[in-house]
Every structure is written in structure tokens, then in C-alpha cells.
Amino acid sequence: MTIEHLIQRHAANSPERIALIEGDVEVSYAALWSNICRAAAWFAARAGRGDRVVLSASKSAGFVYAYFGAHLAGLIAVPIDSETNATRLRRIVDVARPRFVIGELRYGEGLTVVPFDQMVAEPAADFALPDEADVADLLFTTGTTGLPKGVTLTFANQMAAATSINEFIGNSADDVELLALPISHSFGLGRLRCVLSKGGTVVLLGSFASMKRFYAAMDAHGVTGFGMVPASWAYLHKMSGERIGEYADRLRYVEIGSAFMSEADKRLLMRLLPATRICMHYGLTEASRSAFISFHDEEAHLTTAGRPAPGVEIAVYDEQGQPVARGAEGEVCVKGAHVCSGYWGCAVEDFRRDFNGEYFKTGDWGYLDADGYLHLVSRKKELINVGGKKVSPIEVEEALNELEGIRESAAVAMHDDVLGEVVKAYVVCDAPVDTDAAKRALSRRLENYKVPVAIEVIDALPRTANGKLQRLLLADK
């Protein structure tokens, strides 16, 4: 069984049900499947099974047709952001060696880019549905250090992830989801697959940038849920205050992920949406949604990343590859059918080095408490080693962000001739900040070795399109 099987089933059983809404255009499941088959026919006439196709992941019906159509024709989809910079785009093209580049790209100079509307010009044809063992997608990681990796996800990986997510969140065919997340990444693309696999409706919205469009879509289509990253919530709250609370009686669920969210923001959202199932996930491109927490149901554990998602196991290992006891810190490792099948161009034996037995190494440092909740400390590479004492940048940032005038911060390692590394902090301020006074304030909250020896004010912190803080880019400054 694959997502494509389920979409075909919905088209047969509920052909008039609305699958997609883009602006004023509504696409039924029957029309969705027909256009997927047309796109598949276009690909099949011009490419062979296993060929890669780069897809500009704009939130449009055309992308949805091309994405699932490529799958149906036996091609491997390589979704990328339409704003992908020229350097990253060249790297992806060099690695994936795609047969086609489809959609609209801002920096696509030198490439032949086929518009989406050509995908549905071909007469529809019948196709064998995908085999779950085949590779469906090639997703490239952010690549904050070194070159981005091409993560290969099979149809079975995608189905396992969608099944797990839908089970935890409780999605159904009655849901109408507003999709404003980037769909070139695991989170947004996963939301698309989750809703369509259940036979629900996806409302395609460009982004969270326009509050007028966001709330107009909420009103016009009776939206029951949406996904967002913490940065989107910060923007929503800044631009529209507590207005989201006006939708408390109709929002069934909200899924949050991809970055750290403060406990204060979690509690504010809980207050505004007292009956909504507010879920937050922990995951990565290689293993989407490995843990979940439901804010209202697990209020006592809000500072954690939750417990393993349905069908997932989590264990913590030390640097020698041995499992550690509950409460002891180590590398977070996950096991489940959602874990990727490999890295593109990487030998199997090399890929297996990223495992401890059957558990995939996430690169995150943390621990499991006595109740099985996951506590994240940092990315393993982002831990700051001060004379042998490990410092979590998150702990330092939380203390910094409580100081008056500081909007957000990032703590990174700075070389020291004596201790090896010390803490340095970059801060974005709403008002002038006396950095020496800030250090004195932090010394009352943190151990001395955790207090930044230097604090530098900058205009903005580097983040991914999903709002994830890229500390290692600052560590190179």
C-alpha cells in the first residue's frame, strides 16, 4: 500500500469530494487522480523508471499533479524550494542528475525548466501503482556543514510516516487543512501526503506572510487544522495578536515542528485553543516525526520532545555505541519503518555506519526520562565543550532570551587556548542592551562556565526556510 493507492481509492469511492483548493479553484479527487495520470503519461513518454525529476515545490495544484505523477511513472521526485540559490541548485543537479527540471525556479539560469501546465497536456493513461520498496523521493538536507545529503525515501517509508502521524493527530476525511508550510521539506510535504491519504481537503496557501489571506482562507473554507513552525507562530502572534483564538471552536488540530518552541509560547497557544489537539513533533529528514507530544494531554511534560511516535522506538547511545540508562545523556537514535533507506550515491556499508544496530543515529544529543519522554539537549555537533564540560546552547539561549531587550539569541563555541572552547552568544535585540550587564545577569542564572565570554549584537540569526536555527553558520564567523 502506498499514498498513491489511497488517492486512487478515494477517487473511485468519493470522486466528487474536494481534494485541493487553490485560490478559487477546487479540484475533486476524481480530477486529482485524472491529472496525476496525465502527468504520469507525460513523464512515461519521456523518461525511464528510476530517472530523477527536480520539482519546484510551489504550493500549486500543478506541483501536486507532477509530484504524484512522477511517482506513478516510476520516477524519483526531487522536490526543491523555488527560491533555491544557484550554488545549492547546482549541487543538487550534479548529485541527482535529473532527467527534467519542472516548475518555476528563481535561479534556474542555464537549466531547461518545463512549466507545470505541460504535465496535464498528455492524455491520461493507466499505470501500475508503485511498489512500496521503490524509492519515491530524494530530499536534500539543509547542509549547514559540508555538502547537503540526498536522503532516499521509499514509498514504504512515506506510508509508515503518514500512518504514524495520522494515528497520533487523528486526521480524517472530514478535515480541511490549510497548508502554508514550504512543501520542499519533510514537514510540509508530509502534511500534504497525510491529508490526501485520508481523503481530506488541502487548501494551498503561499505562506504565512499575509494575515489577511491566512484568515480569509480560514473563514472561506472552514479550515479544521494546519501545520506551522515556531517562527510562523511568532509571526502570527506578532501580526494578529490573539486572533487565532477566535477559531478555537473549529480548529481540531495544529501540528508544530522543525524547531525549538518556548514553554511560554506553548502555554499561550494552549490558552487560546483550549479544545484543539495541539501536537508538536520531533524528527528529521531521514526519520520524519519520530516523537510527538500533545500539549493539553501531556501538559506536565511540555519541556520535552514527547514520546516515540506510533510504530517508532527511541534509544540513547553513548559515543562508544552502547545504550545508556534512563536519565543518562547520549546520542538520540530511532528505529522504525519511517527511517530512510539510504543516502543517494552512498554505499550501503557506509550508510550503515549511521546506525547503532537497528537504530539510526540522529545527530541529536539528549536523554529519556523515567516516563519515556525525550529531552533534547542539542545537536551533537553544536554542543559546546568547555574544558571537558558539555554546554547545551539551548540552555544558554533560554536564559538570554529572558533578559530585557533581547528578542532571540544563539549560543555557539568559540576557540579558547586554555579551555579548548568557551561560549559565545549572538543576540538580536528590540532595544539597546548592555552586554556586560547581560553577562552579570546570566551569572546569577547559569554556572560560570556556561556564561558567554562574548556577546555580539547582530541584525538577524541564520535560519532555514522552516525556521530552524543554523548555529553552525555563526560558529564559523
Which H or E run includes 164?
Answer: helix 155-169
Cα 390 to Cα 385: distance, rounded to the nearest angstrom: 5
Residue 346 confidence (pLDDT): 93
Residue 203 confidence (pLDDT): 98
Is-contact 458 436, C-beta < 8 A? no
Q: Please give the torsion angle defined by the CA atoms of residues 396, 397, 400 and 402, in that order, rounded to the nearest 10 degrees.
A: -120
Residue 113 confidence (pLDDT): 92
Cα 256 to Cα 281: distance, rounded to the nearest angstrom: 6
pLDDT, tens digit (0-9, with 9 covering 90-100), for 249-282: 999 999 999 778 889 999 999 999 999 999 999 9
Q: What angle do CA 441, 442, 443 make, to 5 degrees?
A: 90
Using 70 as the pLDDT threshold, list the residues of the chain that sit under it: 143-147, 465-466, 476-477
CATH, domain range 3-368: 3.40.50.12780
Q: Does domain 383-475 have CATH number 3.30.300.30?
A: yes
pLDDT, tens digit (0-9, with 9 covering 90-100), for 420-455: 889 999 999 999 999 999 999 999 989 899 999 999
Is-contact 29 15, C-beta < 8 A? yes
* Residue 355 vs residues 82, 254, 334, 339, 373: alpha-carbon distances, Å: 33, 32, 9, 11, 21
Is-contact 347 341, C-beta < 8 A? no
- Domain locations along the chain: 3-368, 383-475
Cα 251 to Cα 429: distance, rounded to the nearest angstrom: 34
Cα 51 to Cα 100: distance, rounded to the nearest angstrom: 9
- Count of all residues that appear for the chain in the document: 477
Q: What is the DSSP string of 167-224?
A: HHHT--TT-EEEE-S-SSSHHHHHHHHHHHHHT-EEEE-S-SS-HHHHHHHHHHHT--
Cα 392 to Cα 412: distance, rounded to the nearest angstrom: 9
Question: 414 forms bridges with which residues in the sheet?
Answer: 422
